[in-house]
Structure 1
């Protein structure tokens, strides 16, 4: 009888350990990359995952993040020692830029968009209305001080089977070829 209880207890411990090993890790913005929504005109647009990642994803990407961040300074293209150090300043500047370009592009009335800022890149994710002049909007956004590149990961159909970005609702779903 005691042996049976010990066996059941051992099985319970093994099952508990297996469940914890395979439990979903929390996604956190570990790099503190600016991520914010700028418009809400198109309903049901899937919310991007943005810079939120598991600890494993963060560790897998850490070497490349360091390399990408420092290469800008090493190559003499940045005044700061790491390209990620620009992101907080760009987040402030992009707000001013967006207010200025809304008069020409009417992006607020024709989009539901989020921006992620990483190493002087602006990732634009979300939904735009059919006929929205993305080219002008993205070109004007690229004129923000210290921005090196703007990456377009937008869609017209919020119900598309595949998206160009990962979403908070389904972060592990494969994406279309993203713009990065």
Structure 2
């Protein structure tokens, strides 16, 4: 019970600090403040819009701190994770996902990016066909410790992507 109380106190403290609002200009630099794994698997489909990835302004970092702390510890509090922070799995999951996806037929004909956050895999970009899209998702789901896969892969390059873009 002490661990839960400690986690709740930490969450409350983070919420208090995240409530401070600071105005920033539109040109503010974005960084991968949380050091989330993000990499491109392939670049075979020209014209595919590149995702923004895990890049945040300082204001976005402040607003996300509480939610990330809560999501990271809820896995452990609910008994779904051995580690007290689900984000700590990401750096070991990322190379396994890269290896798994690299073996998928058709991945080189697409333009595919991968982001890993709290045991969730985000597949973003464009693939040539539905089969490749489905195979990539299935391969990502099969990696140990992966909790969920968000498949934002488009077939071709004509649709509007369901992910934030690197340059709008």
- Find the aligned partners of 1:91 and 1:129 in 2 and give their Cα distance: 24
2:148 equivalent to 1:145? no
Q: Give the one of 40, 45, 49 matched to 1:42.
A: 45
Instruction: Report the equivalent of 1:30.
Output: 33
**4+ long deviations beyond 6 Å:** none
> Which consecutive residues of structure 1, in runs of 5 or more, have no partner in the other structure?
1-19, 171-180
**Which structure's CA Rg is the greater one?**
1
Could you tell me the TM-score, scaled by structure 2's length? 0.80
- Find the aligned partners of 2:164 and 2:120 in 1 and give their Cα distance: 17
How large is the RMSD of aligned CA atoms in angstroms? 1.7
Shift of 1:132: 3.4
Give the conservation status (yes or no) of the 8 Å contact 1:26–1:54: yes
Instruction: Report the equivalent of 2:66.
Output: 63
Give the conservation status (yes or no) of the 8 Å contact 1:111–1:129: yes
- Find the aligned partners of 1:98 and 1:23 in 2 and give their Cα distance: 36
Shift of 1:169: 0.8
Give the conservation status (yes or no) of the 8 Å contact 1:110–1:132: no
Q: Give the one of 66, 84, 105 matched to 1:81.
A: 84
| 45 and 77 in structure 1: CA distance in 2 versus 1, 3 angstrom threshold | same
> Which consecutive residues of structure 2, in runs of 5 or more, have no partner in the other structure?
1-22
2:154 equivalent to 1:155? yes
SS in 1 for 2:48: coil
Shift of 1:23: 4.2
